Amino acid sequence: MDRIVGEVMTVDVVEAHPETSFKDVMRLLDRHRISGLPVVDDDDKVVGVISETDLIRRQAARPADGRARRFRLPPLGRSARRADAVARATTAGELMSTPAITVHPEQRIADAARVMERHGVERLPVVDEEDRLIGIATRRDLLRVFLRTDAEIGREVHDEVITRALGLPARGVTVSVRDGMATLEGTVPHPGDIPLAIRLTYRVDGVVGVVNGLSCRTRDTRSSRTLPASGPRYDEGLPGGTPVA
């Protein structure tokens, strides 16, 4: 459970340096068939990232006829000055987006995916404790965990959640998975086992949702009622197993 970035990142990283020319950056992207790369300094520390978006922005910002205007322009605002600088960029250092958004190898894949979504980036340089580049994680790398078969997911839920984490008998709870949706059925000895089982199952890589079919053999003394045999469905994107109405 909770696979980390270091397990899926690409170790053999194509990189550029601030002084790498615009044309050499284009050649690197084309030769390795990638859409972006990190820019590192002489100490292998990430100072920025270049993506195809940066390259397209540079070309779009250049005059249509390739020549500078002859007449004087009024003072430029901040965004206009940035666009002008991008249009004139000839090196990776002038073209890159900075500061670079990075992650560490021990971070959870789910957390790295949230960082990507929050910042709208396609790749994350992976750095060590001294912020030196050791790998790169792309959206494709992070999505590999969802390519697991239903059988693989079901075995992990049963072995790691039901048997190991909850300490329940092998036949006490059945686990079925279809298209990443895990269904838990059976009885558990304590009321608190139900939300714990749901929460831990939801954290298994490849699980996109959890359907609760668990019941409790004992009564919840706090509410003086028996927990229902079938409960709500818990879907992806709802942290902590928030029930869907």
| Cα 53 from Cα 109, distance rounded (Å) | 24
Pairing between strand 173-178 and 46-51?
unpaired
| Cα 186 from Cα 176, distance rounded (Å) | 12
| Cα 153 from Cα 136, distance rounded (Å) | 26
Residue 67 above 90 pLDDT? no
pLDDT at residue 76, as a whole number:
46
Interval 161-216: pLDDT, tens: 999 999 998 788 999 999 889 999 999 999 999 999 999 999 888 888 899 999 98
Q: What is the phi/psi pair of residue 46, to 5°?
A: -75, 125
pLDDT band with cut points at 50, 70 and 90 for residue 52: confident
Mean pLDDT calculated for residue range 34-47: 95
Residue 227 above 50 pLDDT? no
Residue 233 above 90 pLDDT? no
| Token output for 108 | 């959870």
Percent of the chain having pLDDT more than 90? 51
| Cα 243 from Cα 202, distance rounded (Å) | 12
Question: What domains does the chain contain, in order, with CATH numbers?
Answer: 5-146 (3.10.580.10), 148-235 (3.30.1340.30)
